[in-house]
A and B are shown apart, each in its own frame.
Chain A
């Protein structure tokens, strides 16, 4: 797992609000460092790292939500609008995290099933009890999981393309900075 990027320019004695504008954009940039790899379904490690970066962004958004619930411009309408927009951005981030989580779960399951098959085969050779039917259930699960992974990845890519088409990154950064 890739380490969280070091955040520069944090001001411990500055306001929480001021620091939200420093920290949140850095978390967004961390997510987008993985963007060059999203079109390759085989980049399991990079997709996993993107999921972790998105999770970090999500948790950081939770931390700073209060800043957007009580914006500096305190008209009732402005407060409601900021809160609503925050909730919309947040829902998208959670959605991305969950889709990438599903992909990662499939990768883990496939790894476990493959390892287990290899281990069972080598144990069976030692014990002289290798049986073709002994792994039919495992083989079926491997096939099912591969199909699920393919569908999850397609769903992720469609979502990512939709977001890119509406300039999601710029809008998110602009929201955090205003």
Chain B
């Protein structure tokens, strides 16, 4: 699993609001750093890392929600949630495919064919599951999500 981002720049005696901004921005940058690898789609770890970081980001946003104006905060939160959701569908299939591939060696040859058919079926589903995720990425880029998110949480880009 992706390593926990250490929140080194935060001091316990700073205000929650100041810390919240730093933490949210840090997780956001970390999450977006995996996007290109996810888009390529060859290494399944990019999807895993981006999804886990999006969950850490959401946990931070849940905890620190009261530090920000409600309406724009909700708007940004919903988009992060959509990222987690679309990636979840792909990740779940990656995990299943990986798990079933590992079981192949322990089965008699005749039964391996059954599992191989299942794996092919899941790989097709995975290709379908990637589509909404890639569409979401494109939509977020077209609407300037990254810049708006950072403007809101940092105050400047």
Contacts and interface: CB of A to CB of B under 8 A. Distances in A.
Q: What bracket does the count of chain B residues touching chain A fall in?
A: 35 or more
A12 B63 contact: no
Interface in B57-76: 59-60, 62-67
A55 B55 contact: yes
A15 B12 contact: yes
A135 B110 CA distance: 10
Contact of A136 (B67, B95, B111, B121): B111
Contacts of B121: 116
B15 A12 contact: yes
B96 interface: yes
Interface stretch (B38-46, B112-120, B129-137, B139-147): B112-120
Q: What bracket does the count of chain A residues touching chain B fall in?
A: 35 or more
A70 B20 CA distance: 18
Contacts of A41: none
Interface of B: 4, 7, 10-17, 19-20, 23, 55-56, 59-60, 62-67, 92, 95-96, 99-100, 103, 107, 110-115, 118, 121-122
